[in-house]
Amino acid sequence: MLVSIGDLVLDVSIVPETPLEPNDDTPAAITIGGGGQAANFCAWAVALGEPSRLVTRIGDDEPGKRLVADLESRGVEVRPVWAAEPTGAIAVLIAPDGGRTMATQRGASVGLSPEDLDEAWFRDARLLHVPAYSLFLEPLASATRAAIRIVREAKGMLAVDLSSAAGLRAYGPSRMAYVLARLTPEVLFATEKEAETLAVPLESLAQVPVLKRGALGCTVFGRDIAAPDVDAIDPTGAGDAFAAAFCVAWLRGATPVEAAENAVNAASRSVSLVGARPS
């Protein structure tokens, strides 16, 4: 069982046909679907053949109910904590070169507290996946640390994804490095921008540091693994597909390099799809 704790939100992806016109209309392809780093990780893990469980706090509203139902229909075991606050949403604006700009309203998710958790949700986890988003804000950060303690007591492993350079800057890079040093994750995922922002060697913080390099692939222990060439449509969720594929392969006994090869293939598959989830 792979478990993730964090966001389940509504993704609104916008792909303009031409450069945006200020104060005017621009034709665009707009899709609405499920998102959130923790939820996407779980969806990809199941698609890759491993059971997964999402622990999340979500609005007790129609969007929240639809998002939970959709994830469950994909085979993910969801443990929702229903909240009065609205379900979160992310607007993703995708440029012609594949670059993304995201506007985020995290909604009910950040209100998850340690008191909301059931230890049974984590006791059977072989690995707990933690987006750094789940460590940035309280009370979700305290709930996440409580979940980590339960998983560690049960001899499970920990994978952390740094999630966002902007989030790291707001939280404090030195502060996050200190948190990671105390958590001692087995696996640490970071983009080049996130690693530069953290400004601490990833090798000093995790057993297996993985540098995600987008279309160039990734680097593990100084070895570069190239990504296959694909026609990229939507990069949303590619990093989550990467993390899920890496963790699934690693838990099945692959070496870090072999797991990374699986990961770049999954990420390349992801960017050829619209939306953050496997189709």
Q: What is the pTM of this model?
A: 0.93
String of b and e for 118-139 (b: at least 16 CB within 10 Å)?
Answer: eeebbeebbbbbbbbbbbbbeb
Residue 139, preceding peptide bond in cis (omega within 30° of 0): yes
pLDDT at 94: 82
Starting at the edge strand found earlier in the chain, the sheet holding 52-59 runs 77-83, 52-59, 2-5, 127-131, 157-161, 187-191, 208-212, 218-220, 223-225
pLDDT at 65: 97
pLDDT under 50: residue ranges of the chain: none
Per-residue pLDDT tens digits for 249-272: 999 999 999 999 999 999 998 887
Per-residue pLDDT tens digits for 14-27: 888 888 888 899 89
Starting at the edge strand found earlier in the chain, the sheet holding 9-16 runs 28-35, 9-16, 87-94, 100-107
Question: Three-class SS of residue 240?
Answer: helix
pLDDT at 18: 86
